[in-house]
Amino acid sequence: MTTFDALDGLDAVDWAGLRHAYGPAGDVPAQIRALTSDDPATCESALGALYGNIFHQGSRYEASTYAVPFLVGLAADTATPGRAEILALIGALTVGFDESHLPQGLDITGRRAEVEELRSGDRDTMRRRLEKWVDEAVDEGDRRVREMRLRMFDPEESYESARHESAVYDAVRAQVPRLAVLLDDPDPRVRAQAAYTLAWFPEESEHILPRLHGLLAVEPLPSVEATALIATALMASADDAGTARVLRRRLSAGEPVVRWAAATGLARLGSPDEEVVEILAAAVVDPPEQGVPGIPFHEGDLRGYASIALVAADRAIGIGALDVLLAGLARTSGPSAFAVTAAALHTAFGSDRPYPLPPYKELDAVTRKVVRALAELDEHTWQWANFRLMLRPYNLPGDRAACRRYVGSAAEPAEDAPF
């Protein structure tokens, strides 16, 4: 095991006085130090432990903030093994699970306002707002879920959780200059993960965007170029004509994954047109090969990311995206179906919540298409609670057999074919 300057001061932190998911964080310094091991299994075990205690199921803690400078220091040191994996942990600490922020990017202003509201807000007012939310439940099942969340609501705990998330975010923001240097790293995995992490700091766009544009001018690998394009689009404002030009030039790139990223970025900037829509639609049905090192955004689910970008484009110019989404959905299974399902449900139902659920034949043609497509998904998809929970707000059957019975009660007219 090698000792790095990045770890100077590690033992000066009162880790035992800090807390993580399992209590006192006295185990964290040894886990951080283990990331310098020459043994891959030791590094993997240490990284897994850190994901479990300072990023437990997406939550962040006191110890998470203190760990950030050491993790960034290790990632910046070329002697560290597994630097890309460490950067992935830093990215996770920064933003949590990124699908909740895509395709628009992180609303840091809104996030800071929420933390301030929790800090200074009237707890009774917050509870009354939740009680009103419970009263607006669409059915008894939805009411039970909302009542459970009301019972679990603890204003102090919610504030502490939000405060730790903000503290970690600001700790990573303080490291932006060091992270930006990694855009020039010889390791493409490091370049990609650095671009991903930097994408979540719109307040630093003045410093980061020129570095990203510099990377785009010389990057030889399509997947890294695509990652940098997405990062650039997430950081840019809607009126950033320069970034829009950079993206638009790449709509005709030779590599499909680069065209996908350019179209996704333009949809985010509110600049979709026929060419953008065509590229996104093709990616929903048949997503491009990512290549090495892969796209970090949306956990590398290019079909799912294209689906939510296509919905954004549909809202902007009215393209009728549903048939494309259903064609893509038919090619999915398991977790890869989640984002496409959410996009299809949103497109078909909007804010409507049918309660009680009418007979299948009484649904409109668009809604019938979606419900029938869901009924035809395989057991591997239906076994996931995440998938079934997506159906609940629409009062749709919560298991595959029930959904198939609901759909199968009448022959489907030919004009209602999904695609």
> Residues 418, 326: contact at Cβ < 8 Å?
yes
SS3 286: coil
pLDDT above 70 covers a percentage of the chain that reads 94
pLDDT in tens, 64-102: 999 999 999 999 999 999 999 999 999 999 999 999 999
What is the β-pairing status of strands 19-20 and 23-24? antiparallel
Other CB atoms within a 10 A radius of the CB of residue 25 amount to 25
Q: Which residues pair with 59 in a beta bridge?
A: 56
What's the pLDDT band for 415 if we cut at 50, 70, 90? very low
What is the model's pLDDT at position 7?
94
> Residues 298, 99: contact at Cβ < 8 Å?
yes
pLDDT in tens, 11-26: 999 999 999 999 999 9
Annotated domain spans of the chain: 1-106, 108-162
What is the model's pLDDT at position 414?
41
For the chain, the residue count is 419
Q: Which residues pair with 19 in a beta bridge?
A: 24
Q: CA angle 320-324-330, nearest 5°?
A: 145
What is the model's pLDDT at position 312?
86
pLDDT at position 319 over 70: no
Q: What is the enclosing helix (H) or strand (E) of 23?
A: strand 23-24
> Residues 283, 214: contact at Cβ < 8 Å?
no
List helix spans (H) across 219-335.
222-235, 241-249, 256-268, 274-285, 302-317, 322-329
- Could you tell me the pTM of the whole model? 0.89
What is the model's pLDDT at position 148?
77
What is the model's pLDDT at position 304?
96
pLDDT at position 410 over 90: no
Among 419, 418, 371, 377, residue whose Cα is nearest residue 394: 371
> Residues 345, 370: contact at Cβ < 8 Å?
yes
What is the model's pLDDT at position 343?
93
Q: How far apart are CA 199 and CA 104, in angstroms?
A: 11
- More confident position, 275 or 418: 275
pLDDT in tens, 241-273: 999 999 999 999 999 999 999 999 999 999 889
- More confident position, 306 or 356: 306
What's the pLDDT band for 142 if we cut at 50, 70, 90? low
pLDDT at position 310 over 50: yes
List helix spans (H) across 121-240.
123-135, 140-152, 155-173, 176-181, 188-198, 205-218, 222-235
- Tokens matching residue 101: 């922020």
The CA–CA distances, whole Å, from 416 to 22, 365, 395 equal 52, 6, 21
Other CB atoms within a 10 A radius of the CB of residue 411 amount to 8
What is the model's pLDDT at position 43?
97
pLDDT above 90 covers a percentage of the chain that reads 74
SS3 8: coil
Residue owning tokens 């609303």: 107
pLDDT in tens, 333-369: 999 999 999 999 988 888 777 778 899 999 999 999 9
What is the model's pLDDT at position 121?
73
- Tokens matching residue 210: 């020129």
pLDDT at position 223 over 80: yes
Average pLDDT over residues 175-189: 98
Average pLDDT over residues 203-207: 96
What is the model's pLDDT at position 416?
45
What is the model's pLDDT at position 413?
46
Instruction: Go through 57-72 and write b for each residue having 16 or more CB atoms within 10 A of its CB, e for each that does not.
Output: eeebbbbbbbbbbbbb
Among 273, 199, 267, 204, residue whose Cα is nearest residue 238: 267
